[in-house]
Amino acid sequence: MKAAVLATLGATLASGAVIWDGRFNDLKTAQDLATWSWSNQVGPYQYYIHGSGAVNKYIELSASYKNPNDTVSKQGAKFTLDSTAFWNGQNMRRIELIPQTKAAIASGKVFYHFSIMRKDTNAPSVNREHQICFFESHFTELKYGWISGESGTSNPYLQWMTSQKSHWKTEWKPNVWHNVAYEINFGGGSVGFWHSEGGDPLKQEVAPVSVSASSNGADWHLGVLELPRSGYSDASEDFYFSGVYIETGSITTAIGGPTS
């Protein structure tokens, strides 16, 4: 009995503390995102980087859009780049959410969690660069597709990069959930990379590397920015996200994270 109690206590201590929860559990529909504004900063996300259409042109929520191995998240999100997904007069297509929080998500050692998937339908182009789940300074991010300066015309790999340097990659196949955690030490200036597929627990794929880790707490972009490329026209592209949260303490390796 005593051993069981100690084991349970040890497991509890080993899990992290969620300091920001973006798992979409408190949203009834994507329209709830549109209630946020600079004068009405409510909900888990800032919603301002998007095209001119209604919110459901770019983001939809559904239980069918989450990693089915995630039992904590009630639903996931489908992010769509279409012919209207241009923000603020820019020539790049974008749809991104920013954490709305006063929590210390840019201080000390924290873990930024999310899961991502694509399908064959409205598949992201292998011929264009996609910057995914990035900070404004791009000290850590995922990238997909052909990157400027590469040889050839296409790139089928999902890559983890720090400051434009690739440290890990895998072919991004359809219907495979990739679970990711950025291990960021803002005080120590480093970031590591954790990853798994499907329902497997997260494993550290890349030990922390030195970076200029900085953030104002409102510049991590959940979503995607696609760079234009001459000769390749815009087509609708869908990206699926779930299990989004930030924790401090020890990393939670179970998919979906702690219950709160």
The angle formed by the CA atoms of residues 47, 49 and 55, to the nearest 5 degrees, is 60
| pLDDT band (50, 70, 90) for residue 260 | low
Q: What is the pLDDT of residue 13?
A: 36
What pLDDT band is residue 17 in, cutting at 50, 70 and 90?
very high
d(CA 136, CA 243): 22
Average pLDDT over residues 8-30: 77
Q: How far apart are CA 259 and CA 17, in angstroms?
A: 10
5: enclosing H helix or E strand: helix 2-14
Phi, psi (rounded to 5 degrees) for 45: -135, 145
Report pLDDT digits (tens) over 77-102.
999 999 999 999 999 999 999 999 99
Which is more confident, 90 or 14? Answer: 90
pLDDT in tens, 105-133: 999 999 999 999 999 999 999 999 999 99
Residues 223 and 80 sit within 8 Å (Cβ to Cβ): no
CA distances from 131 to 35, 128, 138, 257 (A): 26, 10, 9, 24
* Alpha-carbon gap, residue 141 to 197, rounded angstroms: 18
| pLDDT for 7 beyond 80 | no
CB 213 within 8 A of CB 232: no
- For the residues 20-39, what does the mean pLDDT come to? 97
Angle at 21 between CA 20 and CA 26, to 5 degrees: 140
Q: What is the pLDDT of residues 130-149, one digit of tens each?
A: 999 999 999 999 999 999 88
Q: What is the pTM of this model?
A: 0.93
Distances (CA, A) of 9 to 3, 12, 129, 252: 10, 5, 45, 15
Q: Whole-angstrom Cα distance, residue 125 to residue 187?
A: 37
pLDDT at 45 over 80: yes
On the question of pLDDT at 30 being above 50, the answer is yes
Q: Over 80: is that where the pLDDT of 38 sits?
A: yes
Q: What does the pLDDT look like over 228-251, one tens digit per residue?
A: 999 999 999 999 999 999 999 999
The yes-or-no verdict on residue 8 having pLDDT over 50 is: no
